[in-house]
Chains A and B, each alone.
Chain A
Amino acid sequence: MSRQVNQSRQVDRHRGGTLSRRSFLAGSAAMVALGAAGCAPAARAGGGVTLRFYEQKQEVLAYFDDLLRRFEKERGGVTVVHDSTVAIAPQFVRNEPADVGCFNDNLELARYIKRGVLGDLSDLPSAHTVRTDIGELTDQYATYPGRTSVLPYSLAAAGVIYNKKIFRDHDLPVPETWSQFVDVCEELSRAGVTPIYATDRDTWTLWQGLFDYSVGSLVAPGEFFRRLKELGTDVGPDSEVSFEKDFAVPMERAKTISSYFNPDHAVRAYADGNLAFGKGEAAMYLQGPWALGQIALVDPDLEIGTFPLPVSENPDDRQARVNIDLGLWIPTASPHQDEARELVEFLMRPDIINAYNSDNLAYSTLQDAPPQQDERLAGLQEYVDRAAFYQGAGTFVPTSIPLGNYLQAAIRSGNFEGMLRQLDADWRRLAGRGATV
């Protein structure tokens, strides 16, 4: 009896053993399969070179995909993988940056430029075809001695988007001076039309529009922040430049402008703004070309124009807010420098770069580039042509200073002077600890 029990237990144990071993083996096989899948793409090229192209601007992912396929066909022997990962840091942390990057030139990219991980592109033939006044814009955030780290690829220009029909109905001109602008707003208010639609809930819309436009034509942001950086911890009410002193007049403008906002501006988000403006619920909207596509979803036939915000009494002071929406760079860590350069040269070919920019509501960075044909942006063309532009002041403010939230508070309380003092204090604090972001 006991032997029987023992036997059956042995059988059981045996069965149990094989079962668990089998499942363990199956599990390991699954893991190996997954691992192998992970290695597969590296081996896919089969002798040729595989480049990784980093571009994550979502509206144009498909556009660049097509360009990359074209490059593969023309070049032959090179495969290009399109990397659209949102965060840029991991690839550098991993020390495996994409061979060619195409990214917004901003404070984030500035960190990589400053630390010299992006190689010099000044000896590329195409580097000499870029407009110098646009090339200089990239140096405003950061430079690396002796290098052209970024080739500007696409310039986006922003101003006041306005509803042409509303302006026509009320017989209003496009304002050229600050007092004309205030008159237009007054006129619209009297007629019961919301002059400006604002979306405070998305704080970036506040600094991008209200803050940047109010400052840009009065104080040149590039120069202001260069001097502010030199001052570092010495920034204060008595220093040579400071937010409190230099931005006082611009913020008076901002305060006045904010009095013409839609009553519910505090709770409205960016998407609400596009919808309301698309439905013709407001006459003006302080947004860039990126909003045009969203507005067109609401009403594709809406007549829209753009003008730079006048903030002084001299019409010649008017400038457009621009940003280098895309810039090309090649990390020094890329093992395929030659092929990467070929890809950059391909993308910089006049027919390709000009086509990209005219197709995507932006401006080509090349000398003698054709004008942007889109009606909605025509009002900014002359400013781009004669380099009457600035990069928004808000883009120079590191993210650890919550500028957008300060603006929310200032609009609500009307205390813009307090906000400027706060900005000075924050700048000192950041300079004191040598922070870059």
Chain B
Amino acid sequence: MTTTQTPVRTQPPAGLRAPGRVHRTSWPLTILLALATLTVFVPLYVTLSMAFKTSAQSADGNAFSLPAPLNPASFAEAWTLTRFPVSFGISVGVAALAVVLTLLLSSLAAYAIARNWSRRFFRWSMIYLLVALFLPFPVVALPQIQLTALTGLDNPLGVGILHAMFQLSFSVLLYTAYLRSIPIELEESARIDGASTWQIFWRIILPLLGPMNATVGIFAFLASWNDFMMPSLIMADPTLQTLPVVQNIFQSQFGTDYNVAFASYLMAMAPTIVVYLFAQRWVISGVTQGAVKH
């Protein structure tokens, strides 16, 4: 950290430019980035335009053509066919449960593990949790179906719990890495003031975990919101299915209702886009903060 004494330090922070300095654009980089944005905008454009096409126009093979005539009826059809308010509500409930459980369980586990790293039991617990990263759901699908049925959890509640379980290993990994960067002195001073371990966790550690909470929460939300396979297998009552599973009715091996499907996907995408727009700052910062040890 000797370089901190160099004149570079005296430069204004990034974002503010020194007055009078010529602003130079790196054209190759700009063009590259502009091209990169296309990977997002082109599919988004197709989704949008498809959703407003008539079924005849959506099947004509010109994905990029503008919808003419503009046909908003697909949204209404998708709304009733998927029973949108119901399945949307169930999806939200499952995702919320998964996020809350993931945040709570993995931060607690990570805290215990990070602060007791010297003990063998905790080191092994970490390995135990991490091993689950190598266990994809399809491998354990059938026993899970049987177990959830036996325990009466073959419903949204069970799916939410299972989502949290499968998110646990990755989240604990993120949390432990981040927790190591939180100075132990903070806890020691709190303990001198008479705080119990529980209080330290709630009042000091959890607030300090802020960026990582956002990261873990977003990953948990996206994983739960977009999951198709688990709810489709676990849920016993078809009327309680989550949105991605219900949306499957628009697609089969033999045919696809493109316009209705895309209208429905657009409605289902909305929450993820909103969540990401508001939280992307924390996702990026959280990932890098966990990666670097201060």
Contacts and interface: CB of A to CB of B under 8 A. Distances in A.
Given A38-B157, A297-B55, A93 B249 contact: no
Q: Contact size class for A?
A: 35 or more
A282 to B, nearest CB: 14
B97 A31 contact: yes
A82 B238 contact: yes
B60 A94 contact: no
A204 B61 contact: no
A34 B155 contact: yes
Given A16-B202, A20-B202, A59-B255, A93 B146 contact: yes
A93 B145 contact: yes
Contact of B254 (A13, A20, A31, A290): A290
A30 B56 CA distance: 44
B129 interface: no
B231 to A, nearest CB: 10
A293 B157 contact: no
A293 B199 contact: no
B56 A84 contact: no
Contact of B142 (A93, A96, A275, A294): A93
A15 B160 CA distance: 30
A387 interface: no
A83 interface: yes
B43 to A, nearest CB: 17
A272 B62 CA distance: 11
Given A34-B156, A275-B61, A293 B93 contact: no
A34 B93 contact: yes
**A-side binding surface: helix, strand, loop or mixed?**
helix
A398 B76 CA distance: 41
A13 B155 contact: no
A298 interface: yes
Nearest to B89: A37
B6 interface: no
A290 B237 CA distance: 29
A35 interface: yes
A418 interface: no
A277 B254 CA distance: 15
Interface string A86-121: 110111011110000000000000000000000000
A37 B93 CA distance: 11
Contacts of A9: 193-194
A9 B194 CA distance: 9
Contacts of A270: 253-254
A245 B93 CA distance: 59
B97 A294 contact: no
Contacts of B237: 38, 41-42, 81
A94 B199 contact: no
A271 B237 CA distance: 32
Contacts of A271: 256
A96 B100 CA distance: 31
A65 to B, nearest CB: 11
Interface in A1-52: 6, 9, 13, 16, 20, 27, 30-31, 34-35, 37-39, 41-42
A364 to B, nearest CB: 20
A31 B59 CA distance: 43
B252 interface: yes
B130 interface: no
Given A84-B238, A94-B146, A38 B155 contact: yes
A87 B145 CA distance: 12
Interface string B234-270: 1111111100010011111111100000000000000
B232 interface: yes
A83 B199 contact: no
Contacts of B252: 57-59
Contacts of B279: none
Given A34-B160, A37-B155, A85-B232, 16 more contacts: A9-B194, A34-B93, A35-B157, A37-B156, A37-B240, A38-B154, A38-B156, A42-B237, A57-B252, A59-B252, A61-B249, A271-B256, A275-B59, A291-B254, A294-B59, A297-B56
Interface of A: 6, 9, 13, 16, 20, 27, 30-31, 34-35, 37-39, 41-42, 57-59, 61, 81-87, 89-91, 93-96, 204, 270-272, 274-275, 278-279, 290-291, 293-294, 297-298
Interface of B: 55-56, 59-61, 90, 93, 96-97, 100, 142, 145-146, 149, 152, 154-157, 160, 193-194, 199, 202-203, 232-241, 245, 248-256
Q: Which 3 A-B pairs have the closest CB atoms?
A: A38-B155, A290-B254, A94-B149
15 contacts: A30-B96, A31-B157, A34-B156, A37-B156, A38-B154, A42-B237, A58-B250, A86-B248, A87-B232, A93-B146, A96-B236, A271-B256, A272-B61, A279-B61, A298-B59
